[in-house]
Amino acid sequence: QKNLHLLSPQQIELAKKLLELGQSHLFEHWAEPGVEDEEKKAFFNQVTRLNSSYPGGLESYIKTARELLADSKAGKNPFEGFTPSVPTGEVLTYGDEDFVKFEEMGVKEVQKAAFVLVAGGLGERLGYNGIKVALPRETVMGTSFLLHYIEYILALQEASCSLTQGECQAKIPFVIMTSDDTHSRTLELLESNSYFGMEPTQVKLLKQEKVACLDDNEARLAVDPHSKYRIQTKPHGHGDVHSLLYSSGLLNVWRDAGLRWVLFFQDTNGLLFNAIPAAIGVSAMRQYHVNSLAVPRKAKEAIGGITRLTHVDGRSMVINVEYNQLDPLLRATGHPDGDVNNETGYSPFPGNINQLILELGPYIEELTKTKGGIKEFVNPKYKDASKTSFKSSTRLECMMQDYPKTLPPTARVGFTVMDAWLAYAPVKNNPEDAAKVPKGNPYHSATSGEMAVYRANSLILRKAGVQVADPVEDVFNGQEVEVWPRVTWKPKWALIFSDVKRKVSENCSISQKSTLAIKGRNIFLEDLYLDGALIIDAIDDAEVKVEGSIENKGWVLEKVDYKDTSIPEEIRTRGFRMNKIEQLEKNYSQPGKFILKP
């Protein structure tokens, strides 16, 4: 009461609302009027922000929290009445006729797409000090994840435009969801690199706000341990992307510009774009409202499983079941062994890699109803079995892949499975935890993420007829990995399989110790025998044919230990660095036709 003069009329309403909602404890230790008034104003600014950034405001947040906390206390099964079964979807094999058809269709469609990267996560499991999108995807070219994503989108934009008649003006919109943990560093990375070649207006950053923490089953908001004039907050999860897109107004802008698809992807999957053209092709061909990308999944691997859930009342949906829930759900529904590998060596439930393609029209229709609100969950850590108090404050969370949960049964929800070697190698685990991953399961570390890029590129070249040597096994930071020839290329060199086929001949071969970096667009490998390192660049107007035998000492992987802090974090977490002993490096900066023949 005594501090009301500090507040705007809206804030007075909010203060009343908080009292009605049982939050009077927030004001219990406030100083007398005239003391710490600035802090009190800051408190109300924070409350105003928390209220406006949540669909339905704090009232709705507290109400949902009470319901979910009561369910959690009662031990209510979130899958009550549902039986899981293995769904059917589109299963693609890289390079075969269908795959090529889907890829070509996807490249045509991509000019009607907008890309959305969720990059608000701090990456606690990875424990990296910087933002994850600034990490190198691989260390031959040293391209960061963010640069790689942007180069890919730009190359897709150009390839897609070149298929349309007349001049194509379209610039593919690119949204990045950030959070307080990542926003300024993401913006700085973009600005200091001139948006990596995108037009600044093409890129939009949407910052997610954290949500209020909860102290008890009554959903009393937690006071920040560092300040009695702040509410403690924590991240709400990647599901925020939907409400942010909705409230930004971008979806209608995109619809008016004739766009048809919105693609969502995560921060550190260096292989993801290998899968995107074909997956858009599948969405277009099958007219999917929702298409989730998936890979074969090892039982208990820390990625969600795509599952069909059928309710006793007949309802049925295809949805991601998070990795910690799938095993108990199976055990509770007549599968005593839970989540286990079958005769294929994989779990029958495809692994969700959280790459979603949504059709824009139905997406807008749905968000108009839900305002982007996504089914939330709460995961309190209780002090004891009475479940009356928490070890530490909790909060509501939501996941972007839960979007289909509110869709009507008529919605066309599908998924597309691709090989993991092609599409999925995220960097999520720190070296210590990665080394503890059970043998045969993927490490999801900086080491495995980089090695996966070389493996995928080597396998793609093999598929196109190049003789690529077998890998050798080696151990870095306690993780046993396959080391393939270090083959890399820029997206503009080859976006889809038919590009690779056009640019290499079957007379080429690459030895295991080799490193190959192709940076220019019109570089053709004719009858190359590579046993060493070749780094080649060329402007778009230079056409270069590479012929003959290139042999040199090459680049060697030198082991480093992740604990050795004299080495930059980005390098030591991989367990190796490139020792560049000898290479042939060529750069064609004049237009014309050239032959590179040593």
Rounded distance, CA 513 to CA 551, Å?
11
Dump the DSSP string for 336-374.
TT-S---TTSSEEEEEEEEEEEEEHHHHHHHHHHHTT--
| Cβ-based neighbour number of residue 143 at 10 Å | 23
Rounded distance, CA 264 to CA 267, Å?
10
Output 235 or 380, the one with its CB closest to ligand UGB: 235
**Per CB under 6 A, 428 contacts ligand UGB:** yes
Of 58, 153, 177, 496, the one binding ligand UGB (CB under 6 A) is 177
Residue 567 CA, distance from chain mean position: 27
Site map (CB under 6 A) of ligand UGB, residues 393-412, x = contact: ------x-x-----------
**Per CB under 6 A, 238 contacts ligand UGB:** yes
Output 322 or 543, the one with its CB closest to ligand UGB: 322
Rounded distance, CA 181 to CA 187, Å?
12
Of 232, 291, 320, 447, the one binding ligand UGB (CB under 6 A) is 320
Site map (CB under 6 A) of ligand UGB, residues 94-113, x = contact: --------------------
Output 111 or 394, the one with its CB closest to ligand UGB: 394
Residue 488: strand, helix, or coil:
strand
Q: What is the largest CA-CA distance in the chain?
A: 86
> What phi-psi label fits residue 322: left (phi over 0), alpha (psi between -120 and 50 degrees) or beta?
beta
Output 307 or 515, the one with its CB closest to ligand UGB: 307
Instruction: Say which DSSP state 223 is in.
Output: B
Binding segment (CB under 6 A) for ligand UGB, from list 69-77, 117-125, 271-279, 573-581? 117-125
**Per CB under 6 A, 237 contacts ligand UGB:** yes
**Per CB under 6 A, 425 contacts ligand UGB:** no
**Per CB under 6 A, 120 contacts ligand UGB:** yes
**Per CB under 6 A, 442 contacts ligand UGB:** no
Output 64 or 160, the one with its CB closest to ligand UGB: 64
Rounded distance, CA 103 to CA 87, Å?
23
Q: With contact defined as beta carbons under 8 Å apart, do 340 and 369 qualify? A: no
**Per CB under 6 A, 121 contacts ligand UGB:** yes
Phi, psi (deg, nearest 5) at residue 392: -150, 165
CB of 124 to ligand UGB, least distance (A): 8
Cβ contacts of residue 176 below 8 Å, gap of 6+? 116, 117, 119, 186, 203, 204, 205, 206
CB of 335 to ligand UGB, least distance (A): 20
Output 352 or 394, the one with its CB closest to ligand UGB: 352
Residue 258: strand, helix, or coil:
coil
For residue 390 the two structure tokens come to 């928490």
Rounded distance, CA 134 to CA 579, Å?
22
**Per CB under 6 A, 118 contacts ligand UGB:** yes
Residues 250-279 that bind ligand UGB (CB under 6 A): 266-267
Residue listed under structure tokens 């690529």: 468
Binding segment (CB under 6 A) for ligand UGB, from list 153-161, 229-237, 252-260, 326-334? 229-237
**Per CB under 6 A, 354 contacts ligand UGB:** yes
Residue 291: strand, helix, or coil:
strand
**Per CB under 6 A, 304 contacts ligand UGB:** yes
Size of the site for ligand UGB (CB under 6 A): 24
Output 126 or 155, the one with its CB closest to ligand UGB: 126
Tallying the residues shown for the chain, one arrives at 598
Output 208 or 416, the one with its CB closest to ligand UGB: 208
Rounded distance, CA 53 to CA 546, Å?
56
Q: Are strands 515-518 and 479-483 parallel, antiparallel or unpaired?
A: unpaired
**Per CB under 6 A, 72 contacts ligand UGB:** no
| Cβ-based neighbour number of residue 352 at 10 Å | 25
**Per CB under 6 A, 235 contacts ligand UGB:** yes
Q: State the amino acid at position 282 in one-letter form.
A: V
Binding segment (CB under 6 A) for ligand UGB, from list 54-62, 146-154, 236-244, 558-566? 236-244
Rounded distance, CA 309 to CA 298, Å?
20
Of 18, 119, 500, 517, the one binding ligand UGB (CB under 6 A) is 119
| Residues forming the site for ligand UGB (CB under 6 A) | 118-121, 177, 179, 208, 235-238, 266-267, 303-304, 320, 322, 352-354, 399, 401, 426, 428
